[in-house]
């Protein structure tokens, strides 16, 4: 799950199945009671209709936790990142960064850093589309050291500068779950 609508859809589906979720967060659901295998299968089939899957494999779960932590950091920041990404993820997920990096690279065929940059560029595109902030403000918001650094990364990922993107008013943004 990568957005509030996803959380609402999952919650509604679980309620339809007679489960009353206590807490629904990005990638995680807590229910108040034990679920038997039959009901778990029904939940799995019901959620699959929306493109969601239950993850029972621990490595897949950890991979999703990494992605969720990055999405929350980039798209729903509580405050500016005061430490580097590796320290942030290690502290948030209570694992050594090397282990996180290995699992992520195996599951996604790309590095955590590359995924983080792609998420940031999609956020830049979103903010540019809104047109409410200058590139300097966006660079500050997303913890870029300078506008030049943001622009260089943007061009490397999207093959155009932020100015070109804004002028063309491209709507070719990716959804968070496709990055």
Across the chain, which has 179 residues, the per-10-residue mean pLDDT values are: 74 84 79 81 84 82 93 82 87 96 96 96 93 93 94 96 84 66
29, β-bridge pairs: 24
Q: What are phi and psi of 7, to 5 degrees?
A: -60, -40
Q: Does domain 115-178 have CATH number 1.10.760.10?
A: no
Domain residues of the chain, as ranges?
Answer: 4-48, 58-112, 115-178
Could you tell me the two tokens for 5?
A: 């609508």
- CA torsion sign for 115, 120, 121, 127 is positive
**Interaxial angle between packed helices 58-75 and 97-108, expressed in degrees from 0 to 180 and rounded to the nearest 10:** 100
pLDDT digits (tens, 9 = 90+) for 74-94: 988 776 667 789 999 999 999
State residue 1's pLDDT score.
42
State residue 94's pLDDT score.
95
Nearest residue to 123 via CA among 104, 107, 143, 103 = 143
Element (H, E) at 30: strand 28-31
């Amino acid at each position: 799950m990568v957005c509030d609508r996803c959380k609402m859809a999952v919650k509604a589906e679980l309620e339809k199945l007679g489960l009353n979720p206590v807490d629904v967060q990005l990638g995680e659901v807590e229910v108040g009671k034990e679920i038997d295998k039959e009901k778990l299968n029904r939940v799995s089939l019901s959620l699959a209709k929306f493109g969601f899957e239950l993850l029972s494999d621990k490595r897949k779960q950890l991979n999703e936790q990494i992605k969720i932590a990055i999405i929350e950091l980039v798209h729903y920041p509580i405050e500016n990142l005061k430490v580097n990404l590796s320290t942030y993820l290690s502290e948030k997920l209570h694992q050594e960064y090397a282990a996180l990096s290995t699992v992520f690279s195996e599951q996604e065929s790309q590095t955590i850093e590359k995924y983080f940059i792609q998420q940031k560029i999609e956020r830049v595109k979103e903010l540019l589309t809104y047109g409410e902030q200058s590139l300097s403000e966006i660079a500050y918001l997303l913890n870029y050291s300078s506008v030049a650094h943001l622009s260089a990364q943007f061009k490397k990922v999207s093959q155009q500068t932020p100015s070109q993107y804004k002028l063309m008013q491209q709507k070719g943004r990716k959804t968070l779950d496709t990055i």
